[in-house]
Structure 1
Amino acid sequence: MREPDAIFADPRQAALYDVFDDDRSDLDAYAAIVAELGARRVIDVGCGTGTLAVRLAGEGLSVIGVDPAAASLDVARAKPGADLVTWIHGDAPAAGEVRPPADLAVMTGNVAQVFLSDDDWCAATDAIHTALRPQGWFVFETRRPEVRDWLNWNIPPTRVALPDGRIAVVTRSVTDVSLPLVTFRGSTTIDDEVLWSTSTLRFRDRHEIERSLDGREFDVIDVRDAPDRPGKEHVFLAQRREGKRQPVSELT
């Protein structure tokens, strides 16, 4: 597994993540899915600064947050209610060590796309399979490559007010499109300091993902539209293959 991007691993940038991405209404859909599937024990793989993990724990669920970026976990642990979450510093395969088994594992945001090689993706999905109970659920989102949304990712220098009254100037530029990989670079300038972070995401189409999950002993039960990015993403609800397949319609 590659090292986490600086935006998550650099303590200076991790501390600003929730400031720049303060609208987390995208997590409402995941909280609803957790409730729909009746999950009581959840693993948040790539939990970042812990917004979803803390939210679910506050609703009375048993939650494990796993992330390879120690700086992001430091931010997560400082949040009110963070003591209700079990935090694990590790990459996705570390989820395979979670016991007892979970009802559901989730990857939000771009987490499912940080696995650039097939080997890394298979290692992550194998670990999640191990961490789930029989017929447990794996829920994640991924951007649709055919939409080519990276054409809209560039951000010109933009001023953002920080909680301490200072002004940050943020930028983002797509630097390389070599499908299935897309690379972009962002900067944050505060006073005279410039903080850089470079990220690469892998775009897998629906057929590729479904084929890969089938090969890792998951059944794709449903594929939904992401309500915060309609038409741009798929949300996969996959079930660990074990015994009789159980459609979502029988759970609601």
Structure 2
Amino acid sequence: MFSDADAAALYDLQNPWDPARFSSDAFFDRLVMAAESVLDVGCGTGSMLHLARESGHTGRLAGIDPDRAALERARRRTDVEWVAGTAADIAWDGEFDLATMANNAFQCLVGDDELRASLAAIRSSLSDGGRFAFETRHPQARAWEAWNPDNASDVVDGTGRTLRVAHRVESVDGDVVTFTETTADAGGSVLRVDRASLRFLDVPALNGFLSEAGFTIDAQYGDGEGGPVTGTSRVILTIARRA
């Protein structure tokens, strides 16, 4: 058996939140530490907000995510507000200076209706002039082409067992990529198969949705160091402001 709780723990091993090592983590960490009140949308296991508290953030911190197993790990800290739900479920009204979607969580908003509802809810959660910062993979980099079993990775989990995690793309339909993630034990026995779809929006399409939702673009970067979006950028880091 490989439970949802196991999957959440494995996620933390594969995706450690470390601003000292990863420039995109540092990008969000700087914004969070400078904001009085922060809502992390798609907070997952809560690593970003955990570190903010540990680093001395004294303001309001809240996270929302539909993955209840991930939230159980997030709730190991009780000095942060944790809510089960999707971005479109956000019910706060004008309460946050900053909303974030780190680790490409924005790409999980696949359909137009879901994206519009989510952006509307995020905007409503912000105070006047509040900012929304998020990260998404740039489609020009075609990251999904590396999502194949030849690029499987091994990881040792918290119990000492070695697991192999492999991805396989099922379809590319316009700007939506659907793929599977297979987790197997050291002997090759499959423990779990998860399926997901991610949307890869380019800058014009992305900015069109933001403008329609009532945001203005403060800045867009092609890397965590603040470089411009170029023809070789692998990510799009956006800071949008509630208009």
Distance in 2 (alpha carbons) for counterparts of 1:129 and 1:215: 11
Alignment-derived partner of residue 187 in structure 1: 182
Q: Is residue 176–residue 183 contact of structure 1 (8 Å, CA) maintained in 2?
A: yes
Structure 1, 50-59 or 228-237: larger mean CA deviation: 228-237
Distance verdict in 2 for CA 1:177–1:69, change over 3 Å: same
TM-score by length of 1: 0.83
Alignment-derived partner of residue 197 in structure 1: 194
Distance in 2 (alpha carbons) for counterparts of 1:148 and 1:129: 29
Residue 76 (structure 2) pairs with residue 74 (structure 1) = no
Q: 37, 41, 46: which one pairs with 1:41?
A: 37
Q: Give me the identity figure in percent.
A: 30
Structure 1, 142-151 or 202-211: larger mean CA deviation: 142-151
Alignment-derived partner of residue 234 in structure 1: 236
Q: 3-state SS of the aligned residue for 1:165?
A: coil
Alignment-derived partner of residue 61 in structure 2: 63
Alignment-derived partner of residue 108 in structure 1: 102
Q: Which amino acid aligns with 1:70?
A: R
Alignment-derived partner of residue 211 in structure 2: 214
Alignment-derived partner of residue 134 in structure 2: 140
Q: 3-state SS of the aligned residue for 2:6?
A: helix
How many residues are paired up? 228
Q: Is residue 141–residue 226 contact of structure 1 (8 Å, CA) maintained in 2?
A: no
Q: 3-state SS of the aligned residue for 1:83?
A: coil
Shift of 1:173: 1.3
Q: 3-state SS of the aligned residue for 2:81?
A: strand
Residue 51 (structure 2) pairs with residue 51 (structure 1) = no
Q: Which amino acid aligns with 1:233?
A: V
Distance in 1 (alpha carbons) for counterparts of 2:68 and 2:199: 23
Instruction: String of CA shifts for 1:55-86, please: whole Å, max 9, x gaps.
Output: 223332311000011111011112xxx11110
Instruction: String of CA shifts for 1:154-189, please: whole Å, max 9, x gaps.
Output: 243443222322111221112211221111111112
Distance in 1 (alpha carbons) for counterparts of 2:153 and 2:51: 30
TM-score by length of 2: 0.86
Unaligned 5+ runs, structure 1: 1-6, 242-252
Q: 3-state SS of the aligned residue for 1:16?
A: helix
Stretches (4+) displaced over 6 A: none
Distance in 1 (alpha carbons) for counterparts of 2:84 and 2:183: 26
